[in-house]
Structure 1
Amino acid sequence: MSDIVITSDSTCDLSEEQLEKNGISLMRLSVILGAHTYKDGVDIMPADIFRHFDETGELPKTAAPSTEEYTEFFKQFTDAGKTVIHFNISSKASGSHGFAAAAAKQFDGKVLVVDSHALSTGQGLLVMKACDLRDEGKSAKEIYDEIMSLREKVNTSFVPDTLLYLYKGGRCSTLSYYGAKVLSIHPLIDMKDGELYPKKKYIGKMSRCIRNYINDLVAEYPSYDKRRCFVTHSNADPELVELAKSMVEELFDFEEIDETVAGSIITSHCGRNTLGVLFITK
Structure 2
Amino acid sequence: MSRVKIVTDSTCDLSHDLLELYDISVLPLMISMGEITKKDGLELVPEEIYRWSDETGQTPKTAAPTIGDAVSFLEPFVNAGLDIIFFGISESMSATCNVIRLAAQNLNYDKVYVVDSKNLSTGIGLQVLRAAKMAKKGSTVLEILNDNSEIKDKVRASFVVNTLTYLHRGGRCSGVTALLANTLKLKPEIMVTEGKMVVGKKYRGNIKSALLKYVHDKEKQLLNADNDRVFITHSGCDQEIIEEIRQYLEDLNIFKEILITRAGGVISSHCGPNTLGVLYISK
TM-score tier, shorter chain, comes to over 0.9
Distance in 2 separating the partners of 1:81 and 1:251: 44
| 2:218 alignment partner, SS class | helix
Q: Is this contact kept in 1: 2:234–2:263, CA < 8 A?
A: yes
Q: Is this contact kept in 2: 1:104–1:113, CA < 8 A?
A: no
CA deviation profile, 1:34-59 (whole Å, cap 9, x unmatched): 21111111110001001101211111
Shift of 1:190: 0.3
TM value normalised by structure 1: 0.96
Q: Report what 1:53 is aligned to.
A: 53
Q: Report what 2:239 is aligned to.
A: 238
Letter matched to residue 87 of structure 1 = F
The reply to whether residue 117 of structure 1 matches residue 126 of structure 2 is: no
Shift of 1:189: 0.5
Q: Is this contact kept in 2: 1:104–1:112, CA < 8 A?
A: no
Q: Is this contact kept in 1: 2:61–2:170, CA < 8 A?
A: no
Shift of 1:103: 2.7
CA deviation profile, 1:61-114 (whole Å, cap 9, x unmatched): 112113343233222102112111111111111111121123334555311111
Distance in 1 separating the partners of 2:169 and 2:130: 34
The reply to whether residue 101 of structure 1 matches residue 101 of structure 2 is: yes
CA deviation profile, 1:221-256 (whole Å, cap 9, x unmatched): 432111111100001111221121111111251101
Q: Report what 1:8 is aligned to.
A: 8
Q: Report what 2:79 is aligned to.
A: 79
Letter matched to residue 123 of structure 2 = G
The reply to whether residue 62 of structure 1 matches residue 62 of structure 2 is: yes
Q: Is this contact kept in 2: 1:9–1:28, CA < 8 A?
A: yes
Distance in 1 separating the partners of 2:264 and 2:160: 16
Distance in 2 separating the partners of 1:221 and 1:107: 44
Q: Report what 1:220 is aligned to.
A: 221
Distance in 2 separating the partners of 1:239 and 1:160: 17
Q: Is this contact kept in 2: 1:88–1:116, CA < 8 A?
A: yes
Letter matched to residue 166 of structure 2 = Y
TM value normalised by structure 2: 0.95
Change (3 A) 1:265 1:113: same
Distance in 2 separating the partners of 1:126 and 1:111: 17
Q: Report what 2:276 is aligned to.
A: 275
What are structure 2's unaligned runs of at least 5 residues?
none
The reply to whether residue 27 of structure 1 matches residue 27 of structure 2 is: yes
Q: Report what 2:183 is aligned to.
A: 182
Of 102-111 and 255-264, deviating more is 102-111
Letter matched to residue 17 of structure 1 = D
Distance in 2 separating the partners of 1:234 and 1:32: 19
Of 212-221 and 151-160, deviating more is 212-221
Q: Report what 1:205 is aligned to.
A: 206
Letter matched to residue 155 of structure 1 = R
Q: Report what 1:250 is aligned to.
A: 251
Shift of 1:208: 1.6
Q: Is this contact kept in 1: 2:231–2:259, CA < 8 A?
A: yes
CA deviation profile, 1:2-54 (whole Å, cap 9, x unmatched): 11111110111111111111111111111111211111111100010011012
Q: Is this contact kept in 2: 1:4–1:140, CA < 8 A?
A: yes
Of 248-257 and 122-131, deviating more is 248-257
Change (3 A) 1:148 1:227: same
Change (3 A) 1:150 1:109: farther
Distance in 1 separating the partners of 2:38 and 2:121: 19
Distance in 2 separating the partners of 1:269 and 1:278: 18
| 1:138 alignment partner, SS class | coil
Q: Is this contact kept in 2: 1:162–1:271, CA < 8 A?
A: yes
Q: Report what 2:265 is aligned to.
A: 264
Q: Report what 2:193 is aligned to.
A: 192
Distance in 2 separating the partners of 1:98 and 1:78: 18
Letter matched to residue 66 of structure 1 = T
